[in-house]
Amino acid sequence: MDNFTFYSPTFFAFGKDTENDAGKYVKRFGGSKVLIHYGGGSVVRSGLLDRVKKSLEVAGISFVELGGVKPNPRSGLVYEGIELCKKESVDFVLAVGGGSVIDSSKAIAAGTVYGGDFWDFYSGKRIEEALPIGTILTIAAAGSEGSPDSVITKEEGMFKRGASGDAIRPKFSILNPALTQTLPPYQTAAGITDILAHLHERYLTNTKDVEVTDRLIEGLMLTMIHEAPRVIADPNNYEARANIMWAGMMAHNNAVGVGRSQDWNSHNIEHELSALYDCAHGAGLAVTMPAVFKYVYKHDVMRFAKLATRVWGCQMDFDNPEATALAGIACLENFLKSIGMPLSFAELGAKEEDIPKLVDVLCNGDGRTGSISGFVTLDTKDCTEIYKMMVR
Ligand code: NZQ
Ligand code: ZN
């Protein structure tokens, strides 16, 4: 196991009606003037926004609002939010929504206390300081409610890039699984796929002897495989939603990724798809992961075979471990298909003729120098082949 530090100070309130305590938690974590940030309207329609405002009023906390965050959140609204926070002397950012809303909130929180352009953080500068952030999560997916990360798309050039820093880990996150019951099935499935991707990106490691985190990841994967069909069959299944919601947090606050090298090639390859075609991140990952895994599995056949046997229940073929590894990847594909996810470029609305552009931005855009690295290093030729495998 590699040396590591792990700092995860987020306070979690989990369960039914917990959003009604939002005001209490803002106060507890030092907020007196809040920016409530939200998306395209689901929290207005569900009545959640009104409940949150009421909770702030009861706690005597004043607030301003900024809605309109789009999935794959854009830099334009972040600049608007930073201006608003400065003008109104906001001292706490409250995200009410999904990963996109939380990531936009994190960018605003960091940008408000920074003298330069907030995009510096999305070009490699680490975030050391930010306004405190709270979240009320409405979709189990990105894991941003517990992560030190934020992903924003710069409209100019459509670069989708991440920024990191413990300063943007939420001070508190409210997780009420019942709030996810209004999700359309496609978004539920996209969230499940993203959670599985966060687990795979950590499972694919070059670090030896990491049994504790291997076993934790496998447990979370098995939970997702068990709960996903139950929630797809019955969107109101609270218990299944609860298990998925907590698994989504566990998958990405890095408790199961410490002390080991990680992959993230699938995420980097996918980010270009959601940047260019504005598809759901999880749907893009459903198309990306099987292609990447089939391309790289020979780098460590036994790791893929272990995943196949321990998680998918495949029989180990000791004479032909490659067959076992590939059987596991096929199980993943079948699972993704069964929950309604796309598996090909066409289903995603992506175009083969765009591959050179996708590869160029992926490998050369925004400071990169011809390759991406993770479980294996992939150059422009590799990435071209991987995108071609998704055309099918
Ligand atoms: O905008 P509204 O109207 O709220 O609708 C949203 C949106 O259209 C809808 N939705 C959310 N909760 C709902 C609901 N509709 C009905 N009922 C509810 N309860 O779902 C749609 C998707 O929302 P979004 O926030 O975009 O989803 P998600 O949580 O999957 O976030 C995706 C973003 O997170 C980034 C992705 O790249 C993408 O930009 N990621 C962030 C990470 C992080 N910060 O740690 C890590 C991830 O790997 C990921 O890259
Ligand atoms: Zn993700």
Ordered DSSP codes for 23-89: HHHHHHTT-SEEEEEE-SSHHHHTSHHHHHHHHHHHTT-EEEEE--PPSS-BHHHHHHHHHHHHHTT
Q: Stretch 169-186: mean pLDDT, rounded?
A: 98
* Structure confidence by residue, pLDDT tens digits, 42-99: 999 999 999 999 999 999 999 999 999 999 999 999 999 999 999 999 999 999 999 9
Nearest ligand to the C-alpha atom of residue 280: 1
Q: Which residue minimizes the CA distance to atom 22 of ligand 1?
A: 71
Joined tokens for residue 265: 């090639």
CA 237–ligand 2 middle distance (angstroms): 24
**158 band by pLDDT with thresholds 50, 70 and 90:** confident
Q: Where are the domain boundaries for CATH 3.40.50.1970 in the chain?
A: 11-179
Which residues have CB under 8 Å from 216's CB, separation 6+? 250, 255, 256
> pLDDT value at position 392?
83
Ion ligand 2: protein residues whose beta carbon lies under 5 Å: 194
Q: For residue range 250-295, what is the model confidence (pLDDT) as tens digits?
A: 999 999 999 999 999 999 999 999 999 999 999 999 999 999 999 9
What is the mean predicted confidence (pLDDT) over 7-30?
A: 97
For domain 185-389, the question of CATH label 1.20.1090.10 is answered with yes
**CATH 1.20.1090.10 boundaries in the chain:** 185-389
* Average pLDDT score over residue span 288-311: 98
**DSSP conformation letters of 364-379:** HGGG--SEEESSSEEE
CATH number of 11-179: 3.40.50.1970
Q: How many residues belong to the chain?
A: 392
Segment 93-106, tens digit of pLDDT: 999 999 999 999 99
Q: What is the pLDDT of residue 366?
A: 73
Question: Which tops the pLDDT comparison, 36 or 366?
Answer: 36
- Mean pLDDT, the chain, rounded, equals 97
Q: How far is CA 171 from CA 44, 135, 308, 322, in A?
A: 24, 8, 37, 45
Per DSSP, helices labelled H in 153-280 are 185-203, 211-233, 238-252, 265-277
Say if residues 378 and 265 touch (Cβ distance below 8 Å).
yes
Residue 126 has pLDDT above 80, yes or no: yes
Residues 293, 234: contact at Cβ < 8 Å?
no
Closest ligand 1 atom to 147 CA:
45
pLDDT of residue 351 exceeding 80, the answer is yes
Q: Ligand 1, from 72, 103, 198: best to mutate by most atoms within 8 Å of Cβ?
A: 103
- Please determine, for residue 368, whether its predicted confidence score (pLDDT) is greater than 90: no
Q: Which of 188, 225, 233 is nearest to 332 (CA)?
A: 225
Share of the chain above pLDDT 70, in %: 100
Q: Which ligand is nearest to the CA of 190?
A: 1
Beta-carbon neighbour count of residue 186 at 10 Å?
A: 15
Q: What are phi and psi of 145, to 5 degrees?
A: -65, -15
Question: Do 37 and 66 contact (CB within 8 A), yes or no?
Answer: yes
